[in-house]
Amino acid sequence: MSSSPKTTQPAEAVSAAQHEHLITSAEAAALVGLAPITLAKMRIRGDGPPYSKLGKAVRYAPSTVLAWARSRTHRSTAEASVAARREEAM
């Protein structure tokens, strides 16, 4: 009985259907109510949502953008000021 050699995929190699669809900067900005230029400036400063660089294209995972936006939720302006100072100190 001859069998062809089995090929296995590494754990990282999963079908495209299992990956979250990446969106453009304009789509990510619209998702959280910002202007695309604001996200561009945040990428330069390093204080925006995580993104992927595919060649020259910048792409975002929608769930990551929404999680980033939720992480910036505050109950008062004082709380937001303290959080901003902590980020600056890092």
Q: Which two tokens stand for residue 84?
A: 């901003």
Q: Which helix (H) or strand (E) holds 52?
A: strand 52-54
Within-domain flag for 12: no
Treating both helix axes as pointing N-terminal to C-terminal, what angle do 36-45 and 25-32 enclose, rounded to 10 degrees? 100
Range of the domain at 58: 21-89
Name the percent of the chain lying above pLDDT 90.
Answer: 57
Name the percent of the chain lying above pLDDT 70.
Answer: 70
Q: Which helix (H) or strand (E) holds 58?
A: strand 57-59
pLDDT tens profile 13-51: 555 546 789 999 999 999 999 999 999 999 999 999 999
This model's pTM is above 0.75: no
Within-domain flag for 10: no
Number of domains into which the chain is organized: 1
* CATH code of the domain covering residue 29: 1.10.1660
Q: How confident is the model at residue 5 (pLDDT cuts 50, 70, 90)?
A: low
Supply the pLDDT for residue 80.
66
